[in-house]
Amino acid sequence: MSNNTHLETNEFVDITKRNLAHIKKLVVKVGSAVLTDKNGLDILRLNHLVTQLAQLRNQGLEITLVSSGAVAAGRGRLPSKAKLKTVRAKQALAAVGQGILMQAYAAAFVGYEMPVAQVLLTRDGLIERERYNNVKNTLQTLLEWSVLPIINENDTVATEELQFTDNDQLSVLVLNLVEAELLVCLSDIDGLYDCDPRIHSHARLIHEVQQINDTILQMAGDSPGRAGRGGMKSKLQAARMVTACGIPMIVASGREPNVLLRIMAGEVLGTFFHAARRRIHGKRPWIAFTLPRKGRLLLDKGAVHAVTKAGKSLLAVGIKAVEGRFQAGDCVSCVSEDGKEVAIGISNYGSGDIQKVLGCRSEKVCSILSNAKDEVIHRDNLVVWED
């Protein structure tokens, strides 16, 4: 074993079975490169994916699908526009391709008597807590009705600054919306290699990752997928968020025959990322992965310990500096003196008021600010990252 990044095959099989045996709720994310070829949608491959999903459903698993492919499908229908790369062109191609994609899924699932539902999401549509809960309720109702949700980003209306980086990032949010227990990310790559296999013939597939540290992150290149915006770097970023929620994730090749069935049976395929912590629930996933960070608070060592180890709220006395301009109710990042993000949360104060009470004890805060609260960030509105 080397640096806890992988295990021998037999040991990995045992660990995988132990971690997957209890899984009842599953999110599957499939990338554009799996579902499409140079001519648009690859219907045979899509049908093969649907067959696996149907079999898993028949085994009692509750499944939500996050599917890319709308833009690529649109390019297949409008080949003269295929090389256009502007946001405007991609949004138009998504508008053409999304209907093609859903029609193909609906037709494929008919044979298994499985109704499907299209759900298109944007990040800005989920920032408001009420709207986030509305989406969550809709998805959970669909699953209760045995309807399979097929989710994609609403590329047609999403502005560039409010887009998810790609559907890898969207799948993290969906995972928490449906309260699933595992994310399987299917791509055109076999998993995480210790170096780029397209360049280095000696590249070795890593079957298991205990912790996503800087060494692991450096193994991923910046190259996007063949037909989408993602790549291994994006998948590692998604895995870091998923495992930080207390949920494991698997990255594997969607071109491998019966890949989903074999993974859920415990076979060694792809890379298994272990959950890094106990699972977070309630509003914390919404805070962590939906709300944009509007500023940063620099904490002293005492505040870092209080927040990360002692389970305390963040008080003004432990804040050394404020970066950015934000209002009360905005989400902010909390960083240690060495610049590491240790937590994020919803601030009770705007940046201007926090500047006035830096380092002050609670009784002094009350004398400086009207309608003062004891906490800058209450524990209930704080998400702490574990080492």
Confidence at residue 11, expressed as pLDDT on a 0 to 100 scale: 46
DSSP string, 276-287: -SSPP-TTHHHH
Distance, in Å, from the CA atom of 282 to the CA atom of 279, rounded to the nearest integer, reads 10
- A 10 A CB-CB count for 57 gives 17
Domain boundary among 223, 254, 283: 283
For residue 219, the domain's CATH number is 3.40.1160.10
- Residues 238 and 374 both lie in one domain: no
CA 212: distance to chain centroid? Answer: 14
Helices (H) and strands (E) counted in the chain, each on its own, are 14, 17
Confidence at residue 338, expressed as pLDDT on a 0 to 100 scale: 92
Distance, in Å, from the CA atom of 269 to the CA atom of 150, rounded to the nearest integer, reads 24
- Residues 194 and 54 both lie in one domain: yes
- Taking residues 349-368, report their average pLDDT: 91
Strands lying side by side in the sheet with 271-273? 116-121, 148-153, 62-67, 25-30, 182-187, 249-253, 271-273, 208-209
CA distances from 207 to 22, 189, 271 (A): 20, 13, 4
pLDDT digits (tens, 9 = 90+) for 144-165: 999 999 999 876 665 554 344 5
Residue 235: how many CA atoms within 13 Å on its side-chain side? 36
Confidence at residue 17, expressed as pLDDT on a 0 to 100 scale: 53
Domain boundary among 283, 309, 335: 283
pLDDT digits (tens, 9 = 90+) for 68-103: 999 889 998 998 888 888 888 888 998 999 999 999
Phi/psi at 268 (5° precision): -80, 100
CA 14: distance to chain centroid? Answer: 26
- Residues 297 and 173 both lie in one domain: no
Which band of pLDDT confidence, cut at 50, 70 and 90, is reported for residue 19?
A: low
Residue 302 or 283, more confident: 302
- Residues 106 and 212 both lie in one domain: yes
Which band of pLDDT confidence, cut at 50, 70 and 90, is reported for residue 21?
A: confident
Three-state SS for 178? coil
On whether residue 33 sits in a domain, the answer given is: yes
- Residues 195 and 225 both lie in one domain: yes
- Residues 253 and 298 both lie in one domain: no
- Taking residues 26-53, report their average pLDDT: 93
- Residues 358 and 238 both lie in one domain: no
- Residues 342 and 203 both lie in one domain: no
Which band of pLDDT confidence, cut at 50, 70 and 90, is reported for residue 16?
A: low
pLDDT digits (tens, 9 = 90+) for 322-332: 999 999 999 99
Which band of pLDDT confidence, cut at 50, 70 and 90, is reported for residue 10?
A: very low
| Average pLDDT over all residues of the chain | 86
All residues at 6 or more sequence positions from 248 whose CB lies less than 8 Å from its CB, including other chains: 19, 182, 183, 242, 272, 273, 274, 275
Domain boundary among 283, 307, 333: 283
- Taking residues 255-259, report their average pLDDT: 95
- Taking residues 231-257, report their average pLDDT: 88
DSSP string, 51-94: HHHHHHHHTT-EEEEEE--HHHHHHHH-GGGTT--SHHHHHHHH
pLDDT digits (tens, 9 = 90+) for 103-144: 999 999 999 999 999 999 887 778 888 999 999 999 999 999
- Residues 250 and 349 both lie in one domain: no
- Split into its structural domains, the chain has a count of 2
Three-state SS for 379? helix
Three-state SS for 49? helix
pLDDT digits (tens, 9 = 90+) for 184-230: 999 988 999 887 787 878 889 999 998 888 788 888 765 544 434 44
Q: Are strands 249-253 and 271-273 parallel, antiparallel or unpaired?
A: antiparallel
List the domain range (segments joined by +) for residue 375. 292-384
- Residues 273 and 300 both lie in one domain: no
On whether residue 2 sits in a domain, the answer given is: no
Q: Which of 371, 363, 375 is nearest to 306 (CA)?
A: 375
